[in-house]
């Protein structure tokens, strides 16, 4: 007799489905019926497993943020140099503007523009994500300065903030439909500062 999938699998699978829905439609563009249809959960199961729509949204943003930061750390650790790591992040981002690519943008940045001024819980997740991104870049810049891979005159903390700001702007431009050529120009300009 089969016991079915483990509850944790169902929860993670359903959370991933909810995340994708919020990422596509935004919070305001997603209703409870959409969440139930996408996750395969009934309304009562959705509330039992996650709580209300807002809680599902917060869990989705946090899950996305965790995956984003894990990927950024992995890219840094596996890069041949700090400078190549930063360049790859920027070029990968510019590649998101290629024809035929899905231009959903970044769920963290999308949530910041939709809610960060009005929802302290969203603002906290967004703020923590941006601070952790800046910390990864600050470590890369510091390491790059030590190895002479990055200009010794750049200040790691402010350069990291500049990189996060540039990435946020580039992600917004990708979502707004700017061509890859423009994103590559921005990436090239950012790299000149290093």
Question: How distant, in Å, are the alpha carbons of 71, 78, 166, 178 from that of 57?
Answer: 21, 32, 26, 28
Q: Per-residue pLDDT tens for 32-45?
A: 999 999 998 889 98
Question: How distant, in Å, are the alpha carbons of 57, 122, 177 from that of 21?
Answer: 10, 17, 20
Q: pTM (2 decimals)?
A: 0.88
Domains and CATH numbers, the chain: 60-192 (1.10.357.10)
Residues 6+ apart with CB under 8 A from 93: 167, 170, 171, 174, 183, 187
Q: Per-residue pLDDT tens for 63-112?
A: 999 999 999 999 999 999 999 999 999 999 999 988 777 778 888 988 88
In the numeric block, the tokens 């209703």 are attached to: 31
């Amino acid at each position: 007799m089969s016991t079915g999938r483990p509850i944790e699998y169902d929860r993670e699978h359903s959370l991933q489905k909810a995340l994708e829905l919020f990422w596509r439609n935004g919070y305001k563009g997603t209703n409870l019926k959409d969440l139930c249809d996408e996750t395969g959960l009934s309304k009562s199961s959705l509330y039992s497993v996650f709580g209300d729509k807002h809680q599902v949204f917060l869990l989705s943003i946090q899950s996305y943020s965790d995956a984003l930061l894990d990927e950024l750390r992995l890219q840094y650790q596996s890069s041949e140099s700090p400078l190549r790591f930063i360049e790859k992040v920027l070029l990968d981002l510019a590649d998101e503007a290629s024809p035929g690519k899905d231009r959903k943008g970044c769920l963290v940045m999308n949530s910041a523009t939709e809610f960060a001024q009005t929802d302290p819980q969203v603002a906290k997740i967004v703020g923590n994500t941006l601070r952790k991104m800046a910390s990864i870049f600050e470590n890369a810049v510091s390491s790059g300065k030590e190895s002479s891979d990055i200009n010794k005159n750049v200040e790691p903390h402010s350069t990291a903030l500049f990189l996060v700001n540039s990435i946020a702007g580039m992600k917004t431009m990708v979502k707004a439909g700017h061509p890859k050529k423009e994103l590559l120009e921005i990436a090239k300009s950012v790299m000149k500062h290093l």
